[in-house]
């Protein structure tokens, strides 16, 4: 096993029917751009009835057909928000927890200590989060996964990861290993993946690798580290 191998993200995903929700953060191969991506998948009609929307640079999950919403509590939230020089991306309403924590002078880790996995027994879906911090023409980033410590949901294990940005390298964390009942949660460290220079190449590679039946939406943002100019791509299966 090559411990420093940088994987093609499509090779990690393709053929896997359900990796759940996923976050990718990293730096383009040319070293000029910061990349973050977030995607959602779904098996139930309630989960599949969603789209991404963007408002003032923030990204939200919203119902595609409001009349068909069954339970909005775990599927409708702000996925991407910014606070000062920080870009936050998560798979739930802990986006707001991190945002409010930063406003109150807390760090990423301390804010997340107030949260745990989702209460969707028996899956106990992990909460995955990431944050890029831009400074001096570069950035660092953090990632986290909050998981049930056992099949009963008796307590929460909190894993935190901090990375310097390195050209061509990103990290990928997702909620599930694969489909199942209950669904097996992600294990180990975020996976090392390559980040393309071209946002369209990366976006298409990721979207096309996700299972065609279960994928719902994908959002990708590239930030120019010199100018902080953003490029964004958003794909919704429901149109």
pLDDT tens digits for 92-124? 999 999 999 999 999 999 999 999 999 999 999
Taking the whole predicted model, whether its pTM rises above 0.95 is answered as: yes
Beta bridge partners of 217: 40, 236
Average pLDDT, integer, range 56-75? 88
Helix (H) or strand (E) run with residue 192 in it? strand 191-194
Contact assessment for residue 85 and residue 133, using Cβ atoms and an 8 Å cutoff: yes
pLDDT tens digits for 176-187? 999 999 999 999
pLDDT of residue 1: 60
Contact residues for 111 (Cβ-Cβ < 8 A; gap 6+): 97, 98, 100, 101, 102
SS3 content of the chain, % helix, strand, coil (to 5): 15, 40, 45
If DSSP states are collapsed to H, E and C, what string results for 61-111?
EEECCHHHCCCCCCCCCEEEEEECCEEEEECCCHHHHHHHHHHCCCCHHHH
pLDDT of residue 200: 98
pLDDT of residue 3: 85
């Amino acid at each position: 096993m090559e411990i420093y191998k940088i994987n093609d993200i499509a090779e990690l995903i393709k053929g896997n029917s359900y990796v759940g929700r996923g976050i990718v953060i990293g730096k383009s191969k040319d070293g000029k751009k910061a990349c973050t991506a977030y995607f959602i998948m779904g098996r139930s009609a309630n989960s599949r009835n969603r789209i991404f929307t963007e408002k003032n640079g923030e990204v939200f999950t919203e119902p595609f057909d409001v009349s068909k919403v069954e339970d909005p509590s775990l599927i409708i939230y702000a996925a991407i928000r910014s606070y000062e020089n920080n870009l936050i991306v998560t798979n739930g309403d802990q986006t707001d927890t991190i945002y409010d924590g930063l406003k109150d002078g807390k760090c990423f880790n301390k804010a997340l200590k107030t949260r745990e996995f989702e209460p969707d027994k028996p899956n106990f879906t992990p909460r995955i989060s990431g944050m890029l911090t831009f400074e001096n023409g570069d950035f660092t980033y953090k990632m986290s996964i909050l998981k049930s410590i056992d099949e009963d949901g008796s307590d929460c294990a909190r894993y935190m990861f901090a990375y310097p940005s390195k050209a061509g390298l990103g990290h990928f964390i997702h909620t599930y290993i694969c489909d199942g009942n209950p669904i097996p949660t992600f294990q180990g460290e975020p996976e090392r993946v390559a980040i393309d220079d071209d946002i369209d190449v990366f976006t298409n590679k990721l979207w096309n690798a996700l299972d065609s039946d279960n994928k719902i939406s994908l959002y990708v943002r590239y930030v120019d580290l010199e100018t902080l100019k953003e490029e964004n791509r958003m794909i919704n299966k429901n149109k």
